Structure 1
Amino acid sequence: MLQVCLNGVRSRAECSHLPVIPDELAAAAQEAVTAGATDIHLHPKDRHGQDTLDDDAVAAAVSAVRATVPGVPVGVTTGAWATADPQARAAQVRAWTVLPDHASVNWHEDGAAQVAAALLDREIGIEAGVYSGTPAAQRFLAWPESRRVLRVLAEITETTPQDAVHAAADLLDHLAPAATPVLLHGEGAAAWPILHFAASRRLDTRIGLEDALHLPDGSPAPSNAALVRAAREIIQRTSQDTP
């Protein structure tokens, strides 16, 4: 599975063509799916371009994307940077009127289990965000409901390619007891090396303007779709080379 991560916490100051409002997210999602993405992750934004978990923003973003790519799973963030208090975050999840197919929960953040419980109660799939270099893996594996998640979102925070690949191998070893699908991805300069590593392990992975602003050759990425096309080429080539 190749997920496209359309925008992340970035702003237009970092990327002038970042999709922010619902219509832009919908257009970017449609282009990315045409290019080969099979799953979508997005960050709903408020009118100031900041991440938000408010019902109106989540409903507008998810509805707009679903209208253009019906049948493709759509997920959102529940990051603490959007709403710091975990009780408030869980309450926002319980107030959503348009439910995403899945939502990421970062297990290094306080209150992760509380937010995850709200998602389970709403029957929303959970992407368990496990960051390298944090106690997230241990916290997640100790959670009694860990086997109920949709997948583990293994997020490599190291940014130099060599360090990132070593960290990815270590994190996968730590996550082995989870016995659940893993989506492995990196960011910045490590995004492409980690995508290649994920492909060599035949793992799910993701790419998009949230994780990378440049194509593998170092040129600026003009769109999420261009990143997805480049990722598809790497995955196909790696699968042919890997026994």
Structure 2
Amino acid sequence: MSLEDPVVITCAISGALANREQCPAIPYTPEEYAAEARRIVDEGGVHIHIHARTSAGVPSYEAADFTAIHDAIRAEVGDAAILNFSTGTVGVSVERRVAYLQACPPEVAALNMGSMNYAKYSARRKDFVFETVFPNPFGEIIALLKAMRELGIKPEHECFDLGHVGSLVPLLDMGLLEAPLHADFVLGVTGGVPATARNLAAMADNLPEGVDAHWGVIGISRVQWTLLAAALSLGGSVRVGLEDNLYLPDGTMARSNGELVGRARQMTLDAGRRPATVQEARALLGLRERAGAAA
């Protein structure tokens, strides 16, 4: 990519971990998701990543909850945003994840590209706040990929470490992936790749050679903003949102996803680049144009 390429601004609208005790702006109900989607689109976001919740805020992997959120967002913003369902979870079967993709196929679905230690460390406590193993074996990756191909869903390859980028190569060789690839590099999770601009560049450099690919960055917590700056200078796209980070660059808690997207849009312009339209985003990700999609 070059600096002239437009920037796809993605927003992870909710996530599955943070709750309203940590940030009052996190949406729970379909109507609240729709209101946040409107703020995202109005500020320049064109790609919305969705973890479903019940109306009480409990993370959900039920088709009915994904469908209700999807339909509420579409009713609010029409085709002005690409909708993306997460398939990342611990302890939820592939079959259950495929079920909600089948019930309400999104344009894109996030696919974690490898297993890893996944933890949060407290330097003050000198201990882990939590730690687990995040299993994403090749068998599950392949099963999800095959389901996505059957449903016409574009996979978003979430890579938490350099080896996860390398895992794209055998899947390409097996004929399971089609160009353009769509990869997002997740930096800042304890157990994954450390959050530095050099590591981000290394991940982009390790995308499969000779294959058209679009990439973006997902920075965890407040390091998000420095990683966004790095991605913009390297020619990548960016993701913000209340799943990954609750704070603006000055340390103020965000009052909505729209505030985070607005800051990402301003950073994009300040870097001498421009936000992609939704049509441009669909082209970069290799998606079919939806009838009546807005600019």
Q: Which amino acid aligns with 1:155?
A: V
Q: Does 1:46 align with 2:54?
A: yes
> TM-score by structure 1 length?
0.88
Gap change, CA 1:34 and 1:92, over 3 Å in 2: closer
> Using the alignment, how far apart are the partners of 1:102 and 1:48 within structure 2?
26
- Report the equivalent of 1:182: 215
Equivalent in the alignment of 2:196: 164
The answer to whether the 8 Å contact 1:87/1:114 transfers is no
Q: Which residue of 2 aligns with 1:128?
A: 157
Q: Say if 1:137 and 1:102 are closer, same or farther in 2 by CA, change over 3 A.
A: same
* Deviation of 1:53 (Å): 2.8
- For 1:39 and 1:6, the matched residues in 2 are separated by 10
Q: How many Å separate the matches in 1 of 2:167 and 2:30? A: 34
Deviation at residue 234 of structure 1 after TM alignment: 0.8
Q: Tell me, what secondary structure is at the counterpart of 1:74?
A: strand
- Displacement of 1:58 after TM fit? 1.0
Could you tell me whether the CA contact under 8 Å between 1:35 and 1:225 is conserved in 2?
A: yes
**Structure 1 unaligned regions, length at least 5:** none
Higher RCO (C-alpha 8 Å, min separation 6)? 2
Unaligned runs of 5+ in 2: 1-7, 115-135, 274-295
Deviations 1:67-91 (A, max 9, x none): 111112111101123x532344334
Determine if contact 1:21/1:45 at 8 Å carries over to the other structure. Answer: yes
Cα drift, residue 37 of structure 1: 0.7
Deviations 1:10-40 (A, max 9, x none): 2223222201211100000101110111111
The answer to whether the 8 A contact 2:38-2:76 is kept is: yes
Residue 157 of structure 2 aligns to a residue whose secondary structure is strand
Match for 1:93: what amino acid?
Answer: L
CA drift of 1:176 comes to 4.6
Q: Tell me the matched-pair count.
A: 234
The aligned residue for residue 184 of structure 2 is: 153
Q: How does 1:75-224 map to 2 (within 5 A)?
A: 75-81=84-90, 84-94=92-102, 96=103, 98-108=104-114, 109-110=136-137, 111-132=140-161, 135-143=163-171, 144=174, 145-148=176-179, 151-158=182-189, 163-177=195-209, 178-224=211-257
Higher-strand-fraction structure: 2
Contact 1:36–1:232, Cα closer than 8 Å, also in 2: yes
Shift of 1:158: 5.0
CA RMSD of aligned residues (A): 2.0
Q: Give the residue type in structure 1 aligned to 2:161.
A: S
Deviations 1:145-182 (A, max 9, x none): 233565112211357xx842222122112225353111
CA–CA distance in 2 between the matches of 1:120 and 1:157?
A: 30
Partners of 1:127 and 1:149 within 8 A in 2: no
Other structure's SS at 1:172 match: helix
For the pair shown, the structure with the greater C-alpha radius of gyration is 2
- Identity between Structure 1 and Structure 2 (%): 24
For residue 20 of structure 2, what is the aligned residue in structure 1? 12
Q: Which residue identity lines up with residue 48 of structure 2 in the other structure? A: I
What TM-score, normalized to structure 2?
A: 0.73
What one-letter code is carried by the residue in structure 2 that aligns with 1:132?
Answer: D
Partner Cα separation in structure 2 for residue 104 and residue 192 of structure 1: 22
* TM-superposed deviation, 1:195: 0.8
Cα gap change, 1:229/1:92 in structure 2, threshold over 3 Å: closer, same or farther?
Answer: closer
* Greater percentage in helix: 1
Following superposition, the deviation at residue 92 of structure 1 comes to 4.2
CA distance in 1 between partners of 2:63 and 2:97 (Å): 11
Counterpart contact for 1:39–1:73, Cα < 8 Å: yes
Q: What is the rounded CA distance, in whole Å, between the counterparts of 1:224 and 1:163 in structure 2?
A: 22
Of the structure 1 ranges 12-21 and 176-185, higher mean CA displacement relative to structure 2 is found in 176-185
